[in-house]
Amino acid sequence: MNRIAANVSDYRALAKARLPHFLFEYLDGGSYDEVTLRRNVEDLQSITLRQRVLRDVSNINLSAELFGRTWAMPVGLGPVGLAGLYARRGEVQAAKAAAAANVPMALSTVGGCSLREVAASGHVPWYQLYFVKDRGFVASMIDTAREVGCATLILTVDLAVPGSRYRDYRAAGGGLRRMAQLLARPGWTWDVGVRGRPISLGNLEPIVGKRAPLSDFQAWIHANFDPSVSWKDVEWVRSQWKGPLIIKGILDPEDARAAADHGADGIVVSNHGGRQLDGTSSTALALPRVADAISGRFPVLVDGGVRSGLDVVRMLALGADFVLLGRAWAFALAARGGEGVAHALKLIDAEMRVAMALTACTRINEIGEDILERSGNQATF
């Protein structure tokens, strides 16, 4: 397919045409009726910006500081499960694209490539960690992150129990049904299924084995994620990890304040991309309340529904210090590998520049609630 990708929606269409059905459904779907999944996108797109004109916007600078480093823009590649299966050694390709663009990338615990493999490529990612019942496994992954030189640890806390994802159930199956899905995508089957071997679950290899099928991965998730976790466990991780620690999965202001009180260096306002509790708040709606509660105590990151550089500017105006992409970069990876990720980041950069120019912002720290249209005392949704 030679279709030109002009935006993230185009990359989604290309990813759907390239990925086997079960993988695309895993990437694209949310929980239950996908209400929150839709809200993430729709609420963010409904934010109205205040256009300003006749300002000197000839010199726009997107650079942003986070955890002692200057990044090209306040955007990173958030953790996406199984991304290593969307393209051949996909997370390695994504890490190289992120490094070339000078933006951070976070590798998921449940990625297709292991942390050691990605780090061996010369581009050490941030590492995203889940709590599981086996605290020895958690400790060993923290040790590995330290050994390979990870700068930042992201602790995801909104998956004490897995959400019910109907699309995964409908697309599941093995045998002839799975074979038919693979044969329907010969490009992916050759590039990833054959040339991308060995296919495994990366960081989970010590537990599920080197050739565990996706069904084993899902069974492991259901059996091993720990509903007993509490803030005491966060304190335990804090004691194990001396670098920046980000808590991901915060929607409530009280939880944001608790994260600060328990040693976090930042949070990600996130509902897991609408993949956990359906019917909960969109991140665009939750973000201002959480940012107000934190009052600058530490950086506030956000994800969920971000499909453009315009959306990035909206999130910054709503109170975020940094924005993580999820499906946006995964669609691009699935469509065109690392080249697609690099292009998607260039699109985000270009779209941010237009949005900033037409709201009279030339620096990231100039983006605030004053660029939002107001209805009474509230930004318009």
pLDDT of 376 strictly over 50: no
Report pLDDT for 210: 66
- 272 has catalytic annotation: yes
**Within a 10 A sphere around the Cβ of 364, how many other Cβ atoms?**
22
- Kindly report, residue by residue over 105-139, the tens digit of the pLDDT: 999 999 999 999 999 999 999 999 998 888 898 99
268 phi and psi, to 5 degrees? -115, 115
pLDDT of 99 strictly over 50: yes
Sign of the alpha-carbon dihedral angle for 149, 152, 158, 164: negative
The pTM for the full model equals 0.95
Task: Round to whole Å and give the CA distance between 347 and 358.
Answer: 17
Report pLDDT for 212: 56
- Kindly report, residue by residue over 236-267, the tens digit of the pLDDT: 999 999 999 999 999 999 999 999 999 999 99
What does the pLDDT average to over 143-161?
Answer: 95
Contact 20, 28 (CB under 8 A): no
What does the pLDDT average to over 223-232?
Answer: 87
pLDDT of 148 strictly over 80: yes
Task: Round to whole Å and give the CA distance between 272 and 163.
Answer: 10
**Which of 2-6, 35-39, 221-225 shows the lowest per-residue confidence on average (mean pLDDT)?**
221-225
Burial class (CB in 10 A: 0-12, 13-18, 19+), 273: buried
Q: Which helix (H) or strand (E) holds 261?
A: helix 253-261
pLDDT of 362 strictly over 50: yes
Report pLDDT for 2: 62
Band of residue 45 on the pLDDT scale cut at 50, 70, 90:
very high
Of the chain, the end-to-end C-alpha distance in Å amounts to 37
Residue 99, token pair as written in the block: 């490094």
Percent over 70 (pLDDT), the chain: 94
Give the chain's mean pLDDT.
93
**Domain residue ranges of the chain, discontinuous segments joined by +:** 8-361
pLDDT of 220 strictly over 80: no
**Omega before residue 198 within 30° of 0, cis:** yes
- Kindly report, residue by residue over 308-357, the tens digit of the pLDDT: 999 999 999 999 999 999 999 999 999 999 999 999 999 999 999 999 99
**What is 8-361's CATH topology?**
TIM Barrel (3.20.20)
Selected catalytic residue, list 123, 262, 272, 343: 272
Band of residue 169 on the pLDDT scale cut at 50, 70, 90:
confident
pLDDT of 302 strictly over 60: yes
Closest CA to 200 of 96, 208, 145: 208
